[in-house]
């Protein structure tokens, strides 16, 4: 049911955002006909699809933002801006997303590249002299800036907390190893050197510092285990878990993988309270559908694609290894999961970045078991900040763990022919590759095979209606793939 509802939400949102109202009305009419003609569980599924379609269309219409006209300025702007993302460091300085108003009075959101000083944080208001680039002034190159006003109290406290975490982790571990430890903890690995960052990317390990479901699961599970150990149970105490989840999201920033993981975490908590099992494929489908319905730009985000593909591959691999036990489960389960995630995300990397790493599977298999240990080390460094003697020991262990991960990355990145480069493809090719990978994951899951069996039975029993529905589904999917291309 969750998968069907998610499909309806995505279809309604995409057609509404693309202004394909004729196709939307035709699909709506087809769903109404199916609800009238079908029986039993098929009617329930069609009704669920219809409700999801209407909900997705309504959300897209209500939350749609006005179209921004092309930039008509002379390219040079001196204006007040608000920083709306956490600044990240690169070899040229710091970059962040900013919101500003141009000389024509049009509000815009752009990517700003500034020098290393003065430092600014999310929520700060700055006065900057910039050079705009792109037809919509998508990029701003800053020549000078002044911080006019710091962020509000809550954002200021968040910046101070992130700065304290930065100083605590990187100050005790140091070097690119410290930057990696901080990245594993809160997703900020911008302090890694350019050489190290390139090695991590070429080895196919850049995903390990992306805050995702693993981090959210760790937070929720840790708080839940603590409450259980203290004997604190019941609906009232669940608010502490939800509060811890919300606090972590507030700290790391609401990037697509974080939002997706948070939605899934919320569904898991709700399912547990209702006494129902949390169905992985339904959770990821609903999380993706809600993100697409509320933020259409998420569908153009590489991190969103990678997050969905990686989670789908993880669910599929764990279904196959769930019955394993003993040494086989301990040794092979992480390897199978790592290989599945790497293979699933490879098409997105290949189409978007124009590269594919042939060494990513062995690199991930070797580095994968070290990642949770290094992340736990980073958390212990923070927890023992007031116990210097213990913190020094934990920092030393964490340094060796992160150093080993970086050594694995540099070793595999230096393998001749380990990375293939080719021409980047367009957005339609990316949609097609992702669709094929998701279909493959669905067919590998028991639910997918069950649906295929039910469709086969339906076609044998009601061949005409089944053929009509199958044709409509094929046309609808093709239309969604086409309109999803940028």
Tell me the pLDDT band of 486, cut-offs 50, 70 and 90.
very low
Bond before 448 cis per omega within 30 degrees: no
Question: b/e string for 417-435 if b means 16 or more Cβ within 10 A?
Answer: ebbeeeeeeeeeebbbbbe
Phi, psi (deg, nearest 5) at residue 369: -65, -20
The least confident of 68-77, 195-204, 379-388, 454-463 is 454-463
Residue 345 has pLDDT above 70, yes or no: yes
Q: Which long-range contacts (CB under 8 A, 24 or more apart) does 94-101 make?
A: 94/119, 94/120, 96/120, 96/122, 98/126, 98/140, 100/140
pLDDT at residue number 256: 64
Between CA 372 and CA 376 the distance in angstroms is: 6
What share of the chain has pLDDT > 90, as a percent?
Answer: 11
Average pLDDT of the segment spanning 446-471: 66
| Greatest mean pLDDT among 224-228, 278-282, 319-323, 460-464 | 319-323
State the pLDDT at residue 158: 85
Digit-coded pLDDT (tens) for 365-386 = 888 888 888 988 998 999 899 8
Structure tokens given for 455: 């469709």
Per-residue confidence at 135, pLDDT binned at 50, 70, 90?
confident
Look up residue 367 and give its two tokens.
């580095």
Q: Which of 230-234, 431-435, 437-441, 467-471 has the highest mean pLDDT?
A: 230-234
Whole-angstrom Cα distance, residue 395 to residue 169? 8
What would the pLDDT profile of 305-330 be if each residue is shown by its tens digit? 777 777 777 777 777 777 777 777 77
Say what the pLDDT of residue 432 is: 63
Q: Which residue has the higher pLDDT, 305 or 32?
A: 32
Helices and strands of the chain, counted as H and E runs: 18, 8
* Domains of the chain, start order: 2-64+449-484 (no CATH), 76-151 (2.40.50.140), 194-421 (no CATH)
What's the rounded mean pLDDT across residues 197-225? 75
Q: Which of 89, 31, 75 is nearest to 56 (CA)?
A: 31
């Amino acid at each position: 049911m969750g998968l069907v509802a998610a499909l309806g939400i995505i279809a309604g949102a995409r057609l509404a955002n693309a202004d394909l109202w004729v196709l939307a009305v035709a699909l709506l009419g087809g769903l109404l006909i199916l609800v009238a003609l079908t029986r039993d569980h098929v009617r329930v599924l069609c009704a669920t699809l219809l409700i999801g379609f209407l909900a997705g269309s309504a959300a897209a219409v209500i939350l749609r933002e006005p179209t921004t006209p092309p930039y008509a300025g002379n390219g040079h702007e001196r204006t007040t801006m608000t920083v709306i993302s956490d600044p990240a460091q690169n070899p040229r300085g710091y970059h962040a997303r900013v919101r500003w108003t141009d000389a024509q009075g049009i509000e815009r959101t752009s990517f700003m590249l500034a020098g290393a000083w003065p430092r600014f944080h999310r929520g700060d208001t700055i006065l900057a002299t910039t050079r705009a680039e792109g037809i919509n002034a998508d990029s701003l190159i800053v020549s000078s800036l002044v911080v006019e006003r710091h962020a509000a109290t809550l954002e200021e406290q968040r910046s101070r907390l992130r700065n304290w975490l930065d100083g605590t982790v990187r100050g005790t571990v140091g070097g690119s190893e410290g930057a990696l430890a901080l990245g594993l903890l809160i997703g900020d690995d911008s302090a890694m050197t350019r050489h190290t960052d390139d090695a991590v990317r070429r080895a196919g390990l850049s995903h390990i510092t992306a805050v995702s479901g693993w981090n959210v699961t760790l937070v929720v599970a840790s708080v839940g285990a603590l409450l259980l150990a203290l004997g604190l149970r019941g609906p009232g105490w669940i608010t502490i878990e939800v509060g811890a989840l919300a606090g972590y999201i507030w700290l790391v920033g609401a990037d697509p993988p974080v939002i997706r993981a948070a939605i899934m975490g919320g569904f898991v908590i709700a399912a547990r309270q209702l006494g129902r099992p949390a169905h992985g494929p339904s959770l990821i489908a609903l999380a993706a559908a809600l993100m697409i319905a509320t933020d259409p730009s998420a569908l153009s985000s590489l991190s969103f694609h990678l997050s969905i593909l990686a989670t789908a591959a993880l669910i599929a691999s764990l279904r196959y290894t769930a019955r394993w036990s003993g040494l086989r489960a301990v040794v092979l389960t992480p390897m199978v999961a790592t290989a599945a995630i790497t293979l699933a995300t490879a098409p997105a990397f290949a189409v978007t970045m124009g590269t594919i790493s042939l060494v990513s599977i062995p690199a991930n298999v070797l580095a994968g078991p070290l990642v949770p240990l290094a992340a736990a080390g980073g958390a212990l460094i923070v927890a023992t900040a007031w116990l210097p003697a213990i913190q020094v020991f934990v920092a030393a262990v964490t340094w060796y763990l992160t150093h080993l991960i970086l050594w694995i990355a540099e070793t595999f990145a230096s393998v001749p022919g380990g990375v293939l480069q080719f021409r980047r493809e367009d957005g339609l090719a990316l949609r097609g590759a992702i669709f094929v990978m998701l279909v493959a994951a669905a067919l590998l899951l028991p639910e997918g095979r069950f649906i295929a069996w039910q469709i086969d039975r339906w076609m044998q029993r009601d061949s005409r209606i089944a053929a009509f529905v199958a044709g409509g589904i094929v046309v609808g999917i093709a239309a969604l793939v086409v309109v999803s291309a940028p």
